[in-house]
Amino acid sequence: MNVLGYYPVLALGIAAAVVGYALLARKPKAVGDTFERERRRLLVLGGRIIDGTVIDVQEIEDPVTSRQMILLIFTYDVAGVTYEASQDVTKLRQFIDLYSCRLGLHASVKYDPHNPGDSIVISETWSGLRESPIRANSRPMAR
């Protein structure tokens, strides 16, 4: 058997691997807000909807950037497993009434079926927040 006949095949394989790696390395990486916006968009498009419950809304200071963050904390069950998650809604304040988000508020949660811990309650184009019954009943009646 001639071993030298395998060298061109091996060289071609190595060259293909190097070219493939170079093409993948050139792909722009999403950072910060862009990554989060893309994650929300993908969950809106391909996520499954399930019932959940808002636990709390908290304002905290991010230790890295020293800016205020608004976290919406919620729970939901998928296949008998209870998940507790939070979503940074600081950039989504125009889509949400923070005063109606209270303990026990029912909400719809969109989650990734391949990674149920990846979930959202609100995005730019979708909201799983339901109106609080107290606020719904407090509206003046039309005459």
Taking 70 as the threshold, does the pLDDT of residue 139 lie above it?
no
Lowest mean pLDDT among 12-16, 119-123, 131-135: 131-135
Query: What phi and psi values does residue 96 have, to the nearest 5 degrees?
Result: -135, 140
pLDDT score at 111: 92
Residue indicated by tokens 């170079």: 22
13-59 confidence digits (pLDDT tens): 888 888 888 777 776 655 667 888 888 888 889 888 999 988 888 88
Residue in 58, 69, 49 with CA at minimum distance from that of residue 129: 49
In whole angstroms, how far apart are CA 104 and each of 75, 76, 88, 89?
Answer: 10, 12, 19, 18
Within 10 Å of residue 40's Cβ, how many Cβ atoms? 21
More confident residue, 16 or 98: 16
60-89 confidence digits (pLDDT tens): 887 777 788 888 888 999 989 999 998 888
pLDDT score at 50: 92
C-alpha 14/C-alpha 8 separation (Å) is: 10
